């Protein structure tokens, strides 16, 4: 096994690009281990609807990035208290979905630290009933990776607040996240340690206490390609939002200004049909508003930009911009 040092960067787009680049370009016979820690971000599954998973009012207010990954499964929250591991190997055709095989060394490392961890359910590592790690896989061209999170000392309020609690207003065939009771690993440690110490302990355990950890070093050309991949894919709106499976939004809400009924169809991340009904009191022609909605990118930032400077009172009576955005997304 070889270890790749990601250079300590916390940019989720760059770390996911490094993982993909390693999978596709740094092939060899030996399995590769990669660790990364991301700044506050939500990492959504390949087949998810971004709008359905992310509490965008919260992520915008707290500068939390939203990035889609290659592997399937649900949405997870990352911050500097969450360590991610990724085993990148040949795909022998039998290993896919074999989470036990890949999580075993991590579970063992945790148990050696006195944490009563076990792989349970489909893809979680738990202590008792509480989840400390979520895992997922991706395979392409005879290679695969199995990656997972380790909640070490993450900000638990953000873990729940940044993810959408009850996406009732959405209808889609997108993969839904499986909400879990979560816990930080630091809670279960007899001796306090930092996430760096924790990372070193896991690394040493996976490499069987070897005095020197064999490393795979990237060249400057490799890093340049990684940066390009990060820009092209993991920082692109088309990937992070546009790839969401088609969905419908049905919103019915009573506000001080009146009752609103909103319906929208969204395809490739853009509003393809919109209808707004209600008993609000405005003078403007509501058809103008539905016209404005047509074709807009369905993310909070784009919607806010599109309605900046629009006199909402003219159409709806006393409705604030935040209320309007909360109705839409
Ligand atoms: N960081 C983290 N770790 C573990 N569990 C989490 C985390 N954040 C949120 N959650 C909980 O898991 C569910 C979603 O569970 P669900 O099973 O739907 O999804 C996953 O587990 C996906 C794991 C992907 C791992 C990748 C590894 C490197 S990049 S991301 C969510 O609603 C929360 O309740």
CA end-to-end span of the chain, whole Å?
45
Low-confidence ranges of the chain (pLDDT < 70): 165-167
* Of 109, 218, 101, 93, nearest in space to 143 by CA: 93
The finding on whether 43 has its CB within 6 A of some atom of ligand 1 is yes
| Locus of tokens 């591991």 | 85
> Given this model, what pLDDT does residue 28 score?
81
327 within 8 A of 251, measured Cβ to Cβ: yes
What tokens does 139 get?
């395979």
> Given this model, what pLDDT does residue 208 score?
93
The finding on whether 126 has its CB within 6 A of some atom of ligand 1 is no
> Given this model, what pLDDT does residue 211 score?
86
| Locus of tokens 């074709």 | 295
What's the gap in Å between 77 CA and the centre of ligand 1? 7
The finding on whether 149 has its CB within 6 A of some atom of ligand 1 is yes
The pTM of the full predicted model, rounded to 2 decimals, is: 0.96
The finding on whether 151 has its CB within 6 A of some atom of ligand 1 is yes
Give SS3 for 210.
Answer: coil
* Of 135, 117, 105, nearest in space to 43 by CA: 135
Choose the residue to mutate in 41, 149, 165 for probing ligand 1, maximizing ligand atoms within 8 Å of C-beta. 149
Interatomic CA distance for residues 189 and 292, integer angstroms = 55
The finding on whether 163 has its CB within 6 A of some atom of ligand 1 is yes
The finding on whether 147 has its CB within 6 A of some atom of ligand 1 is yes
The finding on whether 177 has its CB within 6 A of some atom of ligand 1 is yes
What's the gap in Å between 152 CA and the centre of ligand 1? 13
The finding on whether 159 has its CB within 6 A of some atom of ligand 1 is yes
What's the gap in Å between 166 CA and the centre of ligand 1? 16
The finding on whether 164 has its CB within 6 A of some atom of ligand 1 is no
Give SS3 for 272.
Answer: strand
CA dist 120 → 100, 123, 130, 153, 307 (Å):
9, 7, 10, 21, 47
What's the gap in Å between 134 CA and the centre of ligand 1? 4
> Given this model, what pLDDT does residue 167 score?
64
**β-bridge partners, 43:** 67, 76
Decide if the complex's ipTM is over 0.90. yes
How buried is 239 (Cβ within 10 angstroms: 0-12 exposed, 13-18 middle, 19+ buried)? middle
Choose the residue to mutate in 14, 33, 46, 76 for probing ligand 1, maximizing ligand atoms within 8 Å of C-beta. 76
The finding on whether 282 has its CB within 6 A of some atom of ligand 1 is no
**β-bridge partners, 86:** 34, 147
262 within 8 A of 316, measured Cβ to Cβ: no
What's the gap in Å between 36 CA and the centre of ligand 1? 15
Interatomic CA distance for residues 19 and 103, integer angstroms = 17
The finding on whether 148 has its CB within 6 A of some atom of ligand 1 is yes
The secondary structure of 5-68, three-state, reads: CCCCCCCHHHHHHHHHHHHHHCCCCCCEEEEEECCCEEEECCCCCHHHHECHHHHHHCCCEEEE
């Amino acid at each position: 096994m070889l270890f790749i040092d990601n250079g300590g960067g916390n940019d989720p787009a760059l770390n996911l690009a490094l993982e993909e680049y390693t999978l596709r370009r740094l092939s060899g016979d030996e399995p590769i281990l990669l660790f990364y820690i991301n700044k506050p971000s939500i990492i959504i599954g390949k087949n998810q609807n971004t709008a359905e998973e992310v509490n965008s009012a919260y992520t915008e207010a707290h500068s939390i990035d939203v990035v889609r990954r290659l592997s399937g499964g649900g949405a997870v929250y990352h911050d500097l208290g969450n360590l991610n591991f990724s085993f990148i190997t040949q795909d022998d055709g039998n290993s896919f979905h074999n989470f036990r095989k890949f999580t075993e060394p991590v579970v063992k490392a945790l148990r050696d630290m006195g944490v009563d961890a076990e792989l349970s359910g489909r893809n979680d590592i738990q202590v008792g009933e509480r989840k400390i790690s979520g895992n997922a896989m991706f395979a392409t061209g005879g290679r695969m990776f199995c990656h997972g999170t380790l909640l070490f000392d993450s900000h638990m309020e953000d873990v729940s607040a940044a993810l959408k609690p009850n996406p009732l207003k959405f209808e889609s065939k997108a993969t839904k996240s499986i909400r879990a009771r979560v816990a930080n690993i630091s809670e279960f440690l007899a001796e306090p340690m930092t996430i760096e110490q924790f990372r070193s302990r896991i690394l040493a355990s996976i490499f069987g206490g070897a005095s020197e950890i064999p490393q795979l070093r990237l060249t400057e050309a490799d890093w340049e390609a990684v940066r390009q991949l990060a820009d092209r894919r993991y920082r692109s709106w088309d990937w992070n939002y546009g790839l969401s499976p088609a969905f419908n939004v049905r919103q019915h809400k009573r506000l001080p200004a009146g009752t609103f009924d909103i319906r929208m169809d969204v395809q490739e991340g853009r509003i393809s049909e919109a209808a707004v009904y209600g008993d609000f009191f405005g003078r403007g022609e509501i058809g103008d508003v539905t016209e404005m909605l047509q074709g807009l990118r369905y993310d909070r930032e784009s919607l806010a930009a599109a309605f900046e400077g629009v006199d909402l009172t003219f159409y709806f009576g006393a409705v604030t911009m935040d209320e309007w955005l909360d109705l839409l997304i």
